[in-house]
């Protein structure tokens, strides 16, 4: 039995790698899906502390090479809170959560409840599907 031809083996391996790469790429989560999963995680394992709303602002997302994107602006809720003597200042993209509250009625300086990950206190939320830390 003679040596196996190398070209068919290389072509077969290359096509398998290409197929694997395409399959892995198709399973990538969108940024919105990753943010939703982060909110769910913090909501399920989070501890609650008091915080304060510092600002509510709109940020226009940037397109490629610094050009303004055609997408709708992001609504950011900026807040701060203390955990174990450390003050954290964070923001949360609440663009997709506006069906749960009115971002324009959110008042600055108002106390809120913050849920944070006890293993990573900088990972925090004010609002998620099924939980709202905003107070009336």
Q: What is the pLDDT of residue 14?
A: 76
Q: What is the pLDDT of residue 110?
A: 87
Q: What is the pLDDT of residue 65?
A: 62
Hunting for tokens 């083996």 — which residue is that? 9
What tens digit of pLDDT does each residue of 36-65 get? 999 999 999 999 999 999 998 888 877 666
Opening angle at CA 97, ends 72 and 53, nearest 5: 95
Q: Which stretches in the chain have pLDDT values below 50?
A: none
d(CA 122, CA 117): 7
d(CA 12, CA 68): 44
Q: What is the pLDDT of residue 6?
A: 67
**Which domains does the chain carry?**
30-132 (2.40.50)
Decide if 53 contacts 79 (C-beta within 8 A): yes
What does the block give as tokens for 94? 């609440």
- State the DSSP code for 133: -
Q: What is the pLDDT of residue 119?
A: 95
Q: What is the pLDDT of residue 64?
A: 62
Quick one: which of 97, 104, 99, 98 has its CA closest to 55?
Answer: 104
d(CA 61, CA 135): 29
pTM: 0.71
Decide if 118 contacts 45 (C-beta within 8 A): yes
What does the block give as tokens for 65? 């090479």
Which of helix, strand or coil describes residue 48? Answer: strand
């Amino acid at each position: 039995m003679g040596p196996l031809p190398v070209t068919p083996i290389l072509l077969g391996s290359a096509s398998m790698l290409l197929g694997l790469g395409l399959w892995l790429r198709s399973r990538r989560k969108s940024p919105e899906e990753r943010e939703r999963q982060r909110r769910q995680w913090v909501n399920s394992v989070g501890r609650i502390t008091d915080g304060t709303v510092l600002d509510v602002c709109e940020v226009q997302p940037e397109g490629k090479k610094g050009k303004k994107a055609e997408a709708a602006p992001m609504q950011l809720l900026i807040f701060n809170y203390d955990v174990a003597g450390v003050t954290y200042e964070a923001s949360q993209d609440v663009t997709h959560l506006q069906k749960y509250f009115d971002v324009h009625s959110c008042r600055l300086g108002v106390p809120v409840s913050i849920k944070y990950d006890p293993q990573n206190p900088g990972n925090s939320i004010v609002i998620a599907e099924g939980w709202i830390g905003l107070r009336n």
